[in-house]
Structures are given as structure tokens and as C-alpha cells.
Structure 1
């Protein structure tokens, strides 16, 4: 009997011990889960900090570009206004259009770099996001006695998230610049087709990386620069290559690195090629045929934008009306029939989303295209499409963009 009691007691003790161990394991598991969540939050914040540090570094270069472009436009416009010669006016108009295209790209690139989330992948020429980065950073490179050489070959298109790939290329060129400070040097940026991949190579003439360190360059917080604190340009360098590696890997690609002490380093971004050669695709595009005449309504609180639409579309024989408020737009929809409505996203009075819903209720067959001066939010775009919009135009846009939608 005593043996039986001792056995029961021992069993109870072991059971209690087991329950305690299970409880401790559950507590540990909860702690580990919380720690993991906390680390993930910190990592997301750090990645955003790296991105914003890159934007701050671009500020001086962007200001320089803007001032140059404004000076070019202002100078030629004033000269043409004074001479009043037809050839001077024609030249000034041409220069203003070209300069405004460059300003448009600068603004889009800056907004893209600073945003927290980005859109889906698109098929494009890899030099598009690459050139947007080089155009923003080249002026800074000159200040540091660094020359940029481009060596581009024709390649297939790639399917990428442009915003993320711009971030990768920005990290690559910044890393190359830092490796060549303070003496300066040469950065060669090459693009070529390599089998089923499109390669983008960044070759600097910097100090190089020791062979033992090459395998560690993509580790978070690892840096080959020993004087990070002394140089504000290097803030965030400990994460930039790691972030780039993750982005490229998500795109089904890889980043390789080659280096030799005293001679320099080459980072090679490899991305899967998709479809035909980008250059060939551009050459195949044909001028669109003149579309049939349509009834079009423009809804924007900026009257000059409405007049611009009217002038552009009237040239192709379209019948155009415009409204400066959402309420006026709804009244026009009730009185007349429109094939297409261009609706500004931010309108006084009745919110644009309500105007969109009302238009689709009154005339379900009417196509509604949103227009906006801000970068479109992914969730908002999804909501607009669900409510009946067929898409959106990002200001500033070209007449070809409008024609493509109408056609």
C-alpha cells in the first residue's frame, strides 16, 4: 500500500513538474512571439529610415536641377517675349516643354522614393528606373569629383516594381560614391543582356572590399566603412545593401559582388528578362488612328486645366464640356449624355467619390477616369475601381495619355 502511495505521489510530482514545464514553454513561446513582432516593427522602421535618408541626400541635387531648369525656361521665355520673333518664340516653347518633362520626372521620382508602399510590378526597360536615379544623383557625384560613365546595350524588358528598383539602384550608386570618398573616381554603370537575365553593373574605382568581407556585405548593419559617424552621407549604409538584396531576391533575381583591394568593386544586379527587346518594342509602336468624335466632360476646380482639356480634345473633333464643382458635374450628367468623364480626385463641395458613384448611377455606360496631382494610394485606387472608375491619370500628363484612354 505504501509502495502504491509512493508511486502515486511520484506520478503527481512528475505531472506537476510537466505542467510547470509546459506553462514555462508557453510563456517562453509568447515572449518569443512578442520579441519577433517587436524586431519586425523595428526592422520596418529602420528600412523606412534608410529610404528617407536617401531622399534627404537627394535634396541638394534636386534643388540644383530645379533651379537650372527654371532658369532655362525663364531665360528663353523672357528673350522671346522681348524680341517677339516667331523663331525665338517657337524655340522657347520647345525648351519649356522639354524642361517641364524633366521637372515632371524629378517630382515623380522624389515622391516615389519617399512613399511607404508601392504598386505592383510593370513591364519596362530597366534603364527607366536607372536613369531616374542617375539624373537625381549625378550632380552630387560631380561635387565629389566622381565621373559617371554609361554603357547601355539593348536588352529585353523586365517585370519590376519601379519604386523598389529605384531604391536598389539608389543604394548601389550611393555605396559606390562612399567607396570613392574623399578622392573621387569613376563610376561605370553598364546594362546588358546575359542569357535569360538582364544585368545592371555598378563598377567603382574605390578602395575595394577584402575577400573575407565579401560574403558579409549583404548582412543587416554590416558596413565596410569605418568612419560612418564622421560622414553624414553614410547614415543608413548598414541596411541599404541588405534591403537591396531582399528586394532583388523578391523579383526572382540576385546581386553579386566582385572586388579587389585598391582597384574597386563591382555590384551586379541580375533580373529575369521578360519578352521582347525593349528597343524593338518601342519601334513597333505606331501612331494611333484618329478616334471617332465623343462627348466628354471634364470635372476639375482649376478652370485653366479644364480649358486645356477642351483645347486638346476639340482638335480631334470631340465635343467637350466642363464643370468646376461636383454638383455642377452631376447636373450636367442628368441633362446630357457623355462617353467619358475625367474627374479630379480632390474637389470642393461634394467629395469626388460621391460624384463618381452618382455618375455611375445616372449613366452606368459612361467611362470615368480619375485625375490627380498626388501619388495614388493603392487602397484608394482599388476602392475607386470598385465604385466604377476605369483608371486614373497622374498629373502632369500628356495629350497622348488622354488620347490613349479615349481611343
Structure 2
């Protein structure tokens, strides 16, 4: 108990002493701030009044005329009439009068900075050389925008202490706005001192040109203060220090004043001796109070120790009863814990069932959305293929046939792109992904042509008319995934058609705004409510009931975000809907190509072995390779491929990864054992499992993801042949 009392008492004494020091410092700072605010208030009041008066005088017609004609007597005589309310030629009156408006001298200077003599005019007493030296750094540029400047000078008269003056220079301009000269007024600055009510005199002075001007301080102390202020100015523009003078320690404050020539600082000295005496007195009082608290605490401890002790037998009996109760409580607690553990196991099992059901539901919705996208891409494939097969005369038109074939190839690429984008459901998109250059207007024309079987054929079959129009105000070039952006346009066009059950008009418009490509897809359909507009981009949200998947617009939003773009929706019931897509413009124009083909044909024919268990895949690869005059042999399994490879040397092996009995990786290892120099290209439809991060089996040279194009196969063959 005594230790607690001693600790509390010691902590109280320590806290009280710290509070005392903090309060003293706060009081000193408050006194200084009050005095500084008073000083600055007087200075600001005087400066504003003088500034306005000087501007008024500088615009005087008579003053300008006298300065232009260089009539000095007329100049000073007119100035006396204008300045009579703020100028007093009597030095004593200026020093003892109202400092906010009374000046002790005024002069005029010409454009070269020379002081114009006042002659016999009572313009106040000032040394012209000293004034010219103070005004020299200010300058009198004819077109200087600063018409008023401020400086400080010290005026000495024999052995008398220097008198401080604040100088206000106001430029006088002619009718052509060129400078004619300047009006200079000097105002006295008093070195003040005051008392804080406890016999502590606060002294105020000015630090100017490495000199300290203050009344009632010895020369040695002034020199010491000037050195301390000079050292502090190298670090900060304001501060406070403790300095030891002849009559004891003082608190030194300084703060920069407004001057456009030499640096000037207001300096205040506050004696610390009275404060130190008060601190010592309070410290002894606190110590005495702490000792009293210790004595009282000792007595209280004895009282508590005597009256709160219990008989030993009573303590033992109580302890035994407590042990019995504790054992019973522990038994009950174990029983409750077993019940809770059982309930927790059942809860986790229920949660797993719910999670599994949610996953199956989401997977079903995702599969429906993927089927929807595939149907969109399969429609032009089946449509154009059916047209070519049923219309023999069209085959004679090579241009039309080529156009249909290009549509078929574009749709097939889009279907492959749908498969590749399935990775986005389990892999985050790369924000630094680089895209090729895409012509947005050309992409719109392709999307309109690809979706024509639905918006024209199916709608006309229902007896309604849908018009799709384009308006290219600009032809922006963007960086993007062509298939993904085409899917965006396809989804938006299909949504627009679905939103117009009675027919209508769809407008696709391009423009460039604020260095960004802007695409607007507007329809005249039923429109959306505000609630639907806010939620339409959420995955699995649909207003089409069982016929909708709710993935189309969410996929659109994801693709736009992936392209670092912005998607906005403008809609109202009965007024249609407008989707606004903003994409960054490409930094450079696309390089010229010839029908999208890349000239990467091999320089010489190769002997190639194609291995795939799918006959159609073998046929496509054979057609690709024979286009470039390569000799091709085929095998339907890994075992057959090894037999043919042992019998005939091949320059290149192209094989599928997934095959029965022996997969592509195993077959590649056996081939490398026979001839480790032959290149092996492995084809796979599992793009997320192999080759996505650049890794590949050791026996494989290159991994290609299905489906592959002729250009991709050409580039890969050129790469592996040159590497070999």
C-alpha cells in the first residue's frame, strides 16, 4: 500500500512540475504574441493609411506637372499642401505624436535615384546621401509594376543613439504611364518597453543591417543579442531563444517585418528572473504538499491493514467452498463447450451446402451467358455459310465471296476470343496490358454487318422494322482488343434491338472530345427506370426473366474498364437509351498492312510431321502448311508419330497436347531422345494451364493456344526454324 502511495505522490509531483513549466512557457508566448500583434496592428494601420494617401498625392496633376518640368520648388510646395495631414516638419512632434499618420520627412527622387533637394521648403531633416543609399537597392525601373515599396534606415546624429525610420516609396507616373520619379516619406519607429504587472519589463527593439537598436540595454548586451539573432536567421525567419545577459537570463523573441530591401526583424527581450523565482517557490510548495500526502497515506495504510485482516479459519473455510463451486462451474463449462462445438460443426456443414448451391447457381448462369455469346458469334458463321452453300451464283462473284469469307473468319476469331476471356472469371485483368491499334469506325461497320441477320432478318420476320445508322463525325484510332471491342458493339446492338419490340432506330456515332474517342449507341426503345439504370451493369442482373442471363452489359463494362475507358448510360422511360463509351486515343497511327496478312513465309520448304487425334484439325494444319509448299505427313496418335519419326527424318513436328494413350508432352520427350535438334510445336486448347505465363514443358520449343491462324503458325515456324 505504501508503495502505491509513494508512486502516486511522485507521479503527481512530476506532472505538476511539468504543467508548471508548460504554463510558464505558454504565458511567455502569449505575452509576446499580444505585444507583437499590437505592434503589427499599428504598423498595418499606418501603412494602409499612408499607402492610400501617397497614391492620391502621386496622381496629383500639379505634382506630375512640376515633376515633368523639374520645378523643384513648385514640386515641394504642392506636396506640402497635399501631405499636411500626415507630415509634421517638427522632429519632436513626429516622434511624440500619433505614429499611425505622422511622418518626419519627405523627399522626391528622380529616375536615376538622385534625391531632389527641398531647398527652403520645410520637408523634414534627413541626410540625402543616407537616403540615396537606402533607396538604391529599391530601384526605379520605368515599367516596374510595383508602385510602392518599403525600407528601413537608421539615422545617426553625432553621439546620439541612432533613430530608426520606415521609408515608404511611391512611384509617380506621367500621363503616358512612364515613371517620372518617386515620393519618399519617412516615419519614426519607437523602441518600446512595457511591464507585465509583475515587475518584469519587456523591451522591444529593431534588428537592421546586422545592428540591434534597443533602448536601456548596454553595448555588450546589444552586441550579444545581435550575434544570437544573426545565428538564428541562418535557420529560420522567426523563433525564440533563452539568452544570458548581464542582469540575468532573458527570453529572446524575433520575427521578420515587411521590408523589400534589407532584412528587418522585431526583437523582444523578456527577463526570466521573476518567472524563475516563482517556479522555485511553486516547486517547494508542491514538494511540501507531496510530503503531506505521504504522511497521510502512511496513516491510511496502517488503518486499512489493521481493520481489513480476516481470521485464518474463516479464510480456509471460504477457500474450500470456493474450490467446490469452481469445480462444478468447470464441469458445466466443459459440457456447454461440447454442445457449442457440435453446433459449430453442423453450422459449417450447412454453410458449405449453401456455398455449393450458390456456386452451382452462378456456374449455371455463367454457362447461360457464355452460350448467349457463342450464339451471337455463331449466327453470322451459320448465316454466311448457308448463303454461300445455297447460292451458287454468289461463288462467281469473287469480291462478294471474299467479303463473306472475311465475315466468317472474323466471327470465328470472336468465338475464340469468348473462350479466351473466360479466364477473366478466375484471373484478374492486367492493368498494364498493351493493345494493338484499332480503327473504331471500321470496327463499327464490321459489327453492323455481323449483326445484320438479327436486326434486319429476324425483325422483318416478325413484321417490324429496325433501322441501324452510323454517323462518323470523326474517325478515331484507339488501342484495343479488336474482338473484345467488337463484342461490346454486338452486345449493345442486340440490347438495342431487344429494347424496341415495335421497331425503331439505332444510331452509332463517333466523335473526339477532350483527347478521347467517344462512341454513342442510341436507340428509340422503351428506356430504363433509374433503378434499372443503376443496376444494369451488375453481373446476372436482367429484366428479361428466364430469357436473359444478365451477363451481356456486365461483360461490356468489364471490357471497357480493361481498355482504361469509361461507360456512361443515359436513359429515361419512353425516351430510349444511349450508351456513351469514352476510350483513350492511340498514341500513334497504325502501320500500313495488306489485307491484314503478315509476310512471314519460310524461305524453304520443310518436311513437317502433324500429330492430332482429331481429323478436322489435321486437315486444317495440312492446308496451312501446304499453302507454303511444305511437305506434310500426319499421325493420329503419339505411338504412330514415334514410328513415323524413326523411319523418316522430319524438320519440324506440330502436335496436339491432349491425345489418348500418349499425350503431346510425353511424345515430345521421346522425339527429343531420338533427335534433340528437331523443333516441336505443341498445340493446346487449355490456355489457362500451359503457356499462359511463358512456361512450357522441357521437350517443347513453343506452345500455341487453339484455335490458331495461318499467320500465327507462319510466325511460329519462322521463329523455331531460325532458332534451330
Q: Distance in 2 between matches of 1:240 and 1:331?
A: 50
Q: Provide Cα deviations, 1:227-271, integer angstroms capped at 9, x if missing partner.
A: x46xxxx71254543454456556665532111332211223456
> C-alpha root-mean-square deviation of aligned residues, in Å?
4.7
Question: 1:47 maps to which residue?
Answer: 366
Question: Map of 1:270-285 to 2, 5 A cutoff?
Answer: 273=584, 276-277=587-588, 279-282=589-592
Whether the aligned pair in 1 keeps the contact of 2:416 and 2:707 (CA below 8 Å) is no
1:59 Cα offset (Å): 6.0
Q: Distance in 2 between matches of 1:46 and 1:205?
A: 29
Whether the aligned pair in 1 keeps the contact of 2:520 and 2:579 (CA below 8 Å) is yes
Question: Map of 1:361-400 to 2, 5 A cutoff?
Answer: 361-370=673-682, 376-378=685-687, 382=691, 385-386=696-697, 387-392=699-704, 397-398=709-710, 400=711
Whether the aligned pair in 2 keeps the contact of 1:156 and 1:274 (CA below 8 Å) is yes
Question: 1:179 maps to which residue?
Answer: 499
Q: Distance in 2 between matches of 1:205 and 1:149?
A: 12
Q: Distance in 2 between matches of 1:195 and 1:236?
A: 36
Question: 1:295 maps to which residue?
Answer: 606
1:324 maps to 2:634: yes
Change (3 A) 1:29 1:244: farther
Aligned with residue 157 of structure 1, among 471, 474, 479: 479
Q: TM-score, normalised by structure 1?
A: 0.68
Q: Distance in 2 between matches of 1:134 and 1:47?
A: 26
5+ unaligned residues in a row in structure 2: which ranges? 1-317, 460-464, 719-724
Change (3 A) 1:360 1:102: farther
Question: 1:258 maps to which residue?
Answer: 570
Question: Map of 1:337-376 to 2, 5 A cutoff?
Answer: 338-343=650-655, 354-370=666-682, 376=685
Question: 1:82 maps to which residue?
Answer: none
Change (3 A) 1:48 1:10: same
Q: Distance in 2 between matches of 1:308 and 1:95?
A: 23
Q: Distance in 2 between matches of 1:61 and 1:184?
A: 21
The count of corresponding residues between Structure 1 and Structure 2 is 372
Whether the aligned pair in 2 keeps the contact of 1:48 and 1:116 (CA below 8 Å) is no
Q: Provide Cα deviations, 1:71-92, integer angstroms capped at 9, x if missing partner.
A: 45x3255x6xxxxxxxxxxx64
Q: Provide Cα deviations, 1:335-381, integer angstroms capped at 9, x if missing partner.
A: 6665544446788997655543333333333323356xxx8232575
Question: 2:182 maps to which residue?
Answer: none
Aligned with residue 455 of structure 2, among 130, 133, 141: 141
Change (3 A) 1:202 1:34: farther
Q: Provide Cα deviations, 1:148-168, integer angstroms capped at 9, x if missing partner.
A: 2345632331268x56x6665
- Matched residue of 1:324: which SS? strand
Determine which structure has more spread, i.e. the larger CA radius of gyration. Answer: 2
Whether the aligned pair in 2 keeps the contact of 1:333 and 1:363 (CA below 8 Å) is no
Change (3 A) 1:358 1:267: same
Whether the aligned pair in 2 keeps the contact of 1:55 and 1:114 (CA below 8 Å) is no
1:298 Cα offset (Å): 4.5
Q: Distance in 2 between matches of 1:335 and 1:369?
A: 20
1:67 Cα offset (Å): 1.9
Whether the aligned pair in 2 keeps the contact of 1:298 and 1:309 (CA below 8 Å) is no
1:109 maps to 2:414: yes
Q: Provide Cα deviations, 1:85-105, integer angstroms capped at 9, x if missing partner.
A: xxxxxx64x654443333233
Whether the aligned pair in 1 keeps the contact of 2:380 and 2:411 (CA below 8 Å) is no
1:202 maps to 2:521: yes
Whether the aligned pair in 1 keeps the contact of 2:568 and 2:580 (CA below 8 Å) is yes
Change (3 A) 1:132 1:55: farther
Q: Distance in 1 between matches of 2:386 and 2:664?
A: 35
Q: Distance in 1 between matches of 2:503 and 2:387?
A: 24
Change (3 A) 1:114 1:288: closer
Question: Map of 1:297-316 to 2, 5 A cutoff?
Answer: 297-299=608-610, 308=623, 312-314=627-629
Change (3 A) 1:54 1:321: closer
1:21 Cα offset (Å): 5.0
Question: Map of 1:31-46 to 2, 5 A cutoff?
Answer: 31-46=350-365
Whether the aligned pair in 2 keeps the contact of 1:294 and 1:339 (CA below 8 Å) is no
Question: Map of 1:19-30 to 2, 5 A cutoff?
Answer: 20-21=339-340, 24=343, 27-29=346-348
Q: Distance in 2 between matches of 1:126 and 1:347?
A: 41
5+ unaligned residues in a row in structure 1: which ranges? 80-90, 315-319
Change (3 A) 1:198 1:298: farther
- Matched residue of 1:280: which SS? coil
1:46 Cα offset (Å): 0.9
Change (3 A) 1:155 1:46: same
Whether the aligned pair in 2 keeps the contact of 1:339 and 1:367 (CA below 8 Å) is yes
Q: Which 10-residue stretch deviates more, 206-215 or 351-360?
A: 351-360
Q: Distance in 1 between matches of 2:453 and 2:555?
A: 25
- Matched residue of 1:149: which SS? strand
Question: 1:85 maps to which residue?
Answer: none
Question: Map of 1:233-252 to 2, 5 A cutoff?
Answer: 235-242=547-554, 244-245=556-557, 248-249=560-561
Change (3 A) 1:13 1:155: farther
Change (3 A) 1:186 1:114: farther
